Chain A
Amino acid sequence: MTLAVARVSMPAEARRGDVVAIKALIRHPMETGYRLDAMGRRIPRHIVQAFHVTYAGEEVFRMELTQGVSANPFFAFSTVATVTGDLDFTWEDDRGEVTTVTRRLTVIE
């Protein structure tokens, strides 16, 4: 079973040179490691530590996260449309779980 369900919202097409707005969301508890359960035991930390985006194989955006980011982390950012190619969105959590979403951007002249 995986906790991670990720979604990316971005246009499928853009003109070369356009700034493409991207929104990314993943379902994740982002457990801080500070909370206690009903027995007073500390609930272990479980967070997404890193998020990165490659565009046609080249890294264009990266994030480093801490427990200061809310549960079900949401990010909005942008990239310039250069060539028709795949954008790979990758989330990595501190238990080694990796989630990847791929979206194709078609560049129209």
Chain B
Amino acid sequence: MTLNRRQVVTHGLGAALLVRTTKLSATPELRDATIAELTGGAPVRDGRVHLTIPAVAENGLAVYTTVAVESPMTAADHVRAIHLIAEANPIARLVTFRLGPRAGEAKVSTNIRLAASQNVTALAELSNGTYWRDVKPVIVTLAACIDGG
């Protein structure tokens, strides 16, 4: 299809506004608030969680991400949930995996969208009520959300 001048102007303006909104709505504060909501304010410790994500992601539309948590995955001691949290996306909480001793191992993967270069947090909730995390910086060459799918 062809665009007339008016469409180009409105679309361009819309896109510019969208970029602006995206940047304003996503902050490290929002990330911290999301983590606090998930943990109920419980302390979050570094360690036990291993987040594997590219240091440089050429395509922010699909960033292959793996989270592994050191856990025996027994009925008495297992990982209940793994959350992936962004700090510069329109929505901080990207995805939640809920698992249990029947998983056998606490290791999950998926593809996530990143709207900008940022730190990605993997947060694990253990059966004993403790929370652990790993944080990795990712440089995004082509950002999601701005155009394309």
Residues of A with Cβ closer than 8 Å to B?
19-20, 29-32, 34-36, 38-40, 55, 58, 60-71, 73-80, 82
Contact = CB atoms under 8 A, between A and B. Distances in A.
Contact of B95 (A64, A71, A78, A82): A64
B100 A60 contact: yes
B71 interface: no
Chain A at the B interface: SS class: strand
A23 B18 CA distance: 34
B102 A55 contact: yes
Contact of B98 (A31, A61, A76, A82): A61
Q: Sort chain B's interface into a size bin.
A: 35 or more
Given A38-B1, A70-B112, 19 more contacts: A29-B149, A32-B90, A35-B149, A38-B11, A61-B98, A62-B98, A67-B90, A67-B91, A68-B91, A68-B112, A69-B110, A69-B111, A70-B61, A70-B110, A74-B109, A75-B109, A76-B107, A77-B103, A79-B104
B128 interface: no
A36 B113 contact: no
Given A36-B14, A68-B89, A63 B96 contact: yes
B102 A80 contact: yes
A45 B1 CA distance: 23
